[in-house]
C-alpha cells in the first residue's frame, strides 16, 4: 500500500470521567504525566520502577533489556514465578478473599478463595510432576470454562511447563493442528462441556485428534458432564483420581524471566493462525500493571471479563492480570443468550459486578436483542466498562454507555493483540476524556505511532499503519518454531518498528482511532477507505444491527464496495429493495458519496471467528464471485458461508 487511507468519519462527542471516579482512580493525572515523562527520558528506568513495585522476584535481574531487533529479552538474570505472584503472595492478607466466582451454564455456582485456589494448584502441580511433566514441556488445555481450566494454567506456570490453551469450541482438526505445532506431551480436557444446553463432546474430539498426533503421552480428564466416554487405560487419567492423594505442599519453581510461558494461536481473522510465544516476567508485569491502570482494580471490586480462556483476553484479563492483582474474577461457562438474552445482566445483578469487560460483537448482539432484556435487571453495581476485540462503532459505544453504563461508567476501549500480550492503547478511566470509537492514547511506556509506508508519521485525520516503535515487556518473543515468520509478519513492512497489521488515524486532538485491518482496506477511485468507517455509518442507521464492508473488482473504480448487512428485525427486510437504496444514501450523506456502497446484501448473520470477529476475507471471496480460499478452521459456523452463497444475486 503506497498511499494513505482516507478517513471520512469524524467524532465530536466527548465524555469526561466524573469527579467521583477521578478522586478514587488508581492512576491520577500527576502520576500519569510523571510516568509518560519517565518513559521518554529514562526508558529502562521506567520499566525498572514498574518491575520493582508490581512483581515478586525470587532474584532480581541484572539487565533490564537486551534488544536485538526483532528479538527482545527482559529482566535478564531475574527469577520469578507467575503462580507465586498470582497465589502465594496474596495468602498472608487475602487467603479468604474470593479469587474466582464460577457460574455454570446450568446455574451452578462455585466460589473459590485464594487459599483454596492455592491448594488446588499445588495439588495439581504435584500430579503433573508425578506424571513426569518437566520444565518447558508443552501442555495443551482443551476445556470448558470451569475452575479446573484456570487451575491447570496456573499449575503449568508453577512447574515451568508451557501451556497452550485451545478454545473448547474448536473442532478436532483445529485441535490436532495446534497439538502438532506445539508438540504437546499432555492434553488436559473434560468429559464434556455445556453450551446452550447441549453437551460438547470434548474428550471424543481429543480421541479423534490424537489419531494424528504422536507427541501426546497422557490425557487428563476432568469430570464435568458425566456423559459416557471411552477411556484408554494406558493413556487416559481422571483428574480427580490423579489428584486424590496429591500433596498440598508444592514450592513454585524459580524460573528465569525469559522462561517460556505459553503458546497461543491468534484468532485467524486474517489468515492461518500464528502460534504466539510469550515468556514469564515481562508478560506478568504488563498484565498486572495494565489491570491496575486500565481497569482501576480495587480490593473490593468484583470483576468480570466475558472472554473465554481460549483467547488472549482470557489469559491476560481473566486469569493472570486479575489474580496477580489479588482481585475477584468471575468466570461464566455458557453462552450470553442462554437461556435468554437476560443472562449477562442477571449475572451482573446477582454478583454485584463492578467492572465489566466484553467485546463489540456481544454489544451489537445485545443491541439487536433489545433493551427490554436489560431493563429487568439492576445494573447499578457497575462502575467501569471495557471493550476489546474489534473497533467498537460509535453507535455501539453510545448504546453501551447509555444502557449498560447508565451514562455513569467510563468506557475503556482497549486496543491490543495476542502478540502484544496486554493492552497498549486505551483510555485511563480516571484521566482520559473519551470519544466514542477511539481507543484514545498509548499507555505510558508504549511508543505507538501512525505512519506511512516509509515509517514517517502521517498528518492528523489521515489514515496509516499502526506501529510500535520501542519494545515493551509483554511483546511476543517469536512465532513458535518460526523466527522467520515472526520477522516477516511484524518487522519487515515498516522499517525499525513493530507493525501491528491494523490501520489507524490520529484525529486533530491526537486521539488514536482504529480503522480495521490494513488488509481489508478498499481502494475506490484512487481513495483508500477503511471498512470500519463505512460499517459504522451503516450501523448508525436505526434498522441495521451489524455490517461488514468489503471491496470487489470494478472496471472503472478499481474496486467497488459491497456491504453485507444484518438487520435488527426480519420485518425490516420486507422493505428491502427500498431499504437498500436508503442505506446507500445514508452512507453517502453521512460520510460522503465516495463511500457509497455499490451493493447492499442483506443476510441473517456474518461469518465470524470463534472469538467473534468478522472474517471479511471470506466475504471478499463471495463478493467477487470466487471460491472460498484460505484457512477456515477458526470460523464459527461454516453454514453462514453456504447461506451467503445461496443468496447470491
Cα 346 off chain centre by: 23
Subset of residues 263 to 302 that bind Mg ion, contact rule: CB under 5 A: 266
Buried b (16+ CB within 10 A) or exposed e, 276-286: bbbbbbbbbbb
Minimal distance, residue 572 CB to ligand ATP, in Å: 28
Considering the complex, state which of residue 322 and residue 391 has its C-beta at the smaller distance from ligand ATP. 391
- The item of Mg ion, ligand ATP, none sharing an interface with residue 159, based on CB under 5 to 8 Å by kind, is none
Subset of residues 438 to 477 that bind Mg ion, contact rule: CB under 5 A: none
**Is residue 335 helix, strand or coil?**
coil
Minimal distance, residue 468 CB to ligand ATP, in Å: 12
Alpha-carbon distances of 607 from 170, 309, 503, 618, rounded to whole Å: 15, 22, 21, 7
3-class DSSP string for 434-463? ECCCCCECECCCCCEEEECCCCCECCCCEE
Task: Give the interface with ligand ATP as residue ranges (CB under 6 A).
Answer: 266-271, 273, 311-312, 388-391, 413-418, 439, 500-502, 514, 517, 611, 613
DSSP code per residue over 533-591: HHHHHHHTSTTEEEEEEEEEEETTTEEEEEEEEEESSSGGGGGHHHHHHHHHHHHHHHH
**Alpha helices (runs of H) in 352-474, residue ranges in sequence order:** 360-369, 372-375, 394-399
- The item of ligand ATP, Mg ion, none sharing an interface with residue 546, based on CB under 5 to 8 Å by kind, is none
Considering the complex, state which of residue 267 and residue 393 has its C-beta at the smaller distance from Mg ion. 267
- The item of Mg ion, ligand ATP, none sharing an interface with residue 398, based on CB under 5 to 8 Å by kind, is none
The x, y and z cell numbers of residue 53, run together, are: 513495585
- The item of Mg ion, ligand ATP, none sharing an interface with residue 390, based on CB under 5 to 8 Å by kind, is ligand ATP
Size of the site for Mg ion (CB under 5 A): 1
Considering the complex, state which of residue 236 and residue 419 has its C-beta at the smaller distance from ligand ATP. 419
CA dist., res. 207 & res. 187, Å (int) = 11
Considering the complex, state which of residue 253 and residue 613 has its C-beta at the smaller distance from ligand ATP. 613
Considering the complex, state which of residue 87 and residue 312 has its C-beta at the smaller distance from ligand ATP. 312
Spell out, one character per residue from 250 to 269, where the chain touches Mg ion: x when CB under 5 A holds, - when not: ----------------x---
My answer on whether omega of the bond before 511 falls inside 30° of 0, hence cis, is no
- The item of Mg ion, ligand ATP, none sharing an interface with residue 304, based on CB under 5 to 8 Å by kind, is none
Minimal distance, residue 96 CB to ligand ATP, in Å: 35
In terms of Cα–Cα distance, which of 495, 494, 490 is closest to 477?
A: 490
- The item of ligand ATP, Mg ion, none sharing an interface with residue 388, based on CB under 5 to 8 Å by kind, is ligand ATP
Minimal distance, residue 619 CB to Mg ion, in Å: 17
Minimal distance, residue 59 CB to ligand ATP, in Å: 32
- The item of Mg ion, ligand ATP, none sharing an interface with residue 500, based on CB under 5 to 8 Å by kind, is ligand ATP
Cα 17 off chain centre by: 25
In terms of Cα–Cα distance, which of 59, 114, 61, 55 is closest to 85?
A: 55
> Counting beta carbons within 10 angstroms of the beta carbon of residue 598, is it exposed (0 to 12), middle (13 to 18) or buried (19 or more)?
middle
- The item of ligand ATP, Mg ion, none sharing an interface with residue 440, based on CB under 5 to 8 Å by kind, is none
- The item of ligand ATP, Mg ion, none sharing an interface with residue 148, based on CB under 5 to 8 Å by kind, is none
Residue with the shortest CB distance to Mg ion: 266
Minimal distance, residue 388 CB to ligand ATP, in Å: 5
Contact 467, 451 (CB under 8 A): yes
Considering the complex, state which of residue 242 and residue 307 has its C-beta at the smaller distance from Mg ion. 307
Considering the complex, state which of residue 357 and residue 416 has its C-beta at the smaller distance from Mg ion. 416
- The item of ligand ATP, Mg ion, none sharing an interface with residue 478, based on CB under 5 to 8 Å by kind, is none
My answer on whether omega of the bond before 294 falls inside 30° of 0, hence cis, is no
Cα atoms in the 13 Å half-sphere on the side-chain side of 487: 8
Minimal distance, residue 280 CB to ligand ATP, in Å: 20
Considering the complex, state which of residue 298 and residue 469 has its C-beta at the smaller distance from ligand ATP. 469
Rule CB under 5 A: which residues touch Mg ion? Answer: 266
Amino acid at each position: 500500500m503506497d498511499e494513505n487511507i482516507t478517513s471520512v468519519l469524524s467524532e465530536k462527542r466527548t465524555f469526561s470521567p466524573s469527579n467521583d471516579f477521578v478522586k478514587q482512580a488508581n492512576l491520577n493525572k500527576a502520576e500519569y504525566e510523571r510516568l509518560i515523562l519517565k518513559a521518554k527520558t529514562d526508558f529502562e528506568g521506567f520499566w525498572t520502577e514498574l518491575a520493582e513495585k508490581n512483581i515478586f522476584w525470587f532474584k532480581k535481574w541484572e539487565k533490564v533489556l537486551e534488544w536485538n531487533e526483532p528479538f527482545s529479552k527482559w529482566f535478564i538474570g531475574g527469577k520469578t514465578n507467575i503462580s507465586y505472584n498470582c497465589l502465594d503472595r496474596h495468602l498472608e492478607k487475602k487467603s479468604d478473599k474470593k479469587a474466582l466466582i464460577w457460574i455454570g451454564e446450568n446455574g451452578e455456582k462455585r466460589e473459590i478463595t485464594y487459599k483454596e485456589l492455592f491448594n488446588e494448584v499445588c495439588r495439581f502441580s504435584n500430579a503433573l510432576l508425578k506424571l513426569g511433566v518437566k520444565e518447558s514441556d508443552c501442555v495443551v488445555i482443551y476445556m470448558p470454562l470451569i475452575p479446573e481450566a484456570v487451575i491447570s494454567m496456573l499449575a503449568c506456570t508453577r512447574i515451568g511447563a508451557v501451556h497452550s490453551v485451545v478454545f473448547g469450541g474448536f473442532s478436532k482438526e483445529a485441535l490436532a493442528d495446534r497439538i502438532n505445532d506445539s508438540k504437546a506431551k499432555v492434553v488436559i480436557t473434560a468429559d464434556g462441556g455445556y453450551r446452550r444446553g447441549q453437551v460438547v463432546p470434548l474428550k471424543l474430539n481429543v480421541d479423534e485428534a490424537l489419531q494424528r498426533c504422536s507427541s501426546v503421552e497422557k490425557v487428563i480428564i476432568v469430570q464435568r458432564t458425566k456423559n459416557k466416554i471411552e477411556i484408554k487405560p494406558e493413556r487416559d487419567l481422571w483428574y480427580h483420581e490423579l489428584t486424590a492423594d496429591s500433596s498440598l505442599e508444592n514450592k513454585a519453581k524459580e524460573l528465569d524471566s525469559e522462561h517460556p510461558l505459553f503458546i497461543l494461536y491468534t484468532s485467524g481473522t486474517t489468515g492461518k493462525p500464528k502460534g504466539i510465544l510469550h515468556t514469564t516476567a515481562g508478560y506478568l508485569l504488563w498484565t498486572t500493571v495494565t489491570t491496575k491502570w486500565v481497569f482501576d482494580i480495587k480490593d473490593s471490586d468484583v470483576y468480570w471479563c466475558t472472554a473465554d480462556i481460549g483467547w488472549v483476553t482470557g489469559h491476560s484479563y481473566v486469569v493472570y492480570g486479575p489474580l496477580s492483582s489479588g482481585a475477584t474474577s468471575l468466570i461464566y461457562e455458557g453462552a450470553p443468550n442462554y437461556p435468554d438474552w437476560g443472562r449477562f445482566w442477571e449475572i451482573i445483578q446477582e454478583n454485584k459486578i463492578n467492572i465489566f469487560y466484553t467485546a463489540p460483537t456481544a454489544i451489537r448482539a445485545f443491541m439487536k436483542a433489545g433493551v427490554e432484556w436489560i431493563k429487568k435487571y439492576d445494573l447499578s453495581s457497575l462502575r467501569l466498562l471495557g471493550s476489546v476485540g474489534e473497533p467498537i462503532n460509535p453507535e455501539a459505544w453510545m448504546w453501551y454507555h447509555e444502557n449498560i453504563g447508565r451514562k455513569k461508567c467510563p468506557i475503556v476501549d482497549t486496543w491490543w493483540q495476542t502478540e502484544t500480550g496486554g493492552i497498549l492503547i486505551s483510555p485511563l478511566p480516571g484521566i482520559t476524556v473519551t470519544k466514542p470509537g477511539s481507543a484514545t492514547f498509548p499507555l505510558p511506556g508504549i511508543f505507538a505511532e501512525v505512519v506511512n509506508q516509509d515509517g514517517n508519521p502521517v498528518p492528523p485525520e489521515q489514515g496509516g499503519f499502526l506501529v510500535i516503535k520501542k519494545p515493551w515487556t509483554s511483546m511476543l518473543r517469536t512465532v513458535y518454531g518460526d523466527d522467520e515468520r515472526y520477522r516477516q509478519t511484524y518487522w519487515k513492512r515498516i522499517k525499525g518498528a513493530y507493525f501491528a497489521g491494523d490501520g489507524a488515524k490520529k484525529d486533530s486532538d491526537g486521539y488514536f482511532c482504529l480503522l480495521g485491518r490494513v488488509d481489508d482496506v478498499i481502494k475506490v477511485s484512487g481513495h483508500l477507505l477503511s471498512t470500519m468507517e463505512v460499517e459504522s455509518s451503516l450501523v448508525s442507521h436505526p434498522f441495521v444491527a451489524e455490517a461488514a464492508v468489503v471491496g470487489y473488482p470494478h472496471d472503472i473504480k478499481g474496486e467497488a464496495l459491497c456491504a453485507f448487512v444484518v438487520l435488527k428485525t426480519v420485518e425490516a427486510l420486507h422493505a428491502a429493495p427500498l431499504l437498500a437504496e436508503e442505506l446507500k444514501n445514508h452512507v453517502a450523506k453521512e460520510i460522503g458519496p465516495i463511500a457509497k456502497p455499490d451493493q447492499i446484501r442483506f443476510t441473517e448473520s456474518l461469518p465470524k471467528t470463534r472469538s467473534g470477529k468478522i472474517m471479511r476475507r471470506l466475504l471478499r471471496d463471495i463478493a467477487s464471485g470466487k471460491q472460498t480460499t484460505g484457512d477456515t478452521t477458526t470460523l464459527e459456523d461454516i453454514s453462514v458461508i453456504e447461506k451467503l452463497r445461496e443468496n447470491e444475486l
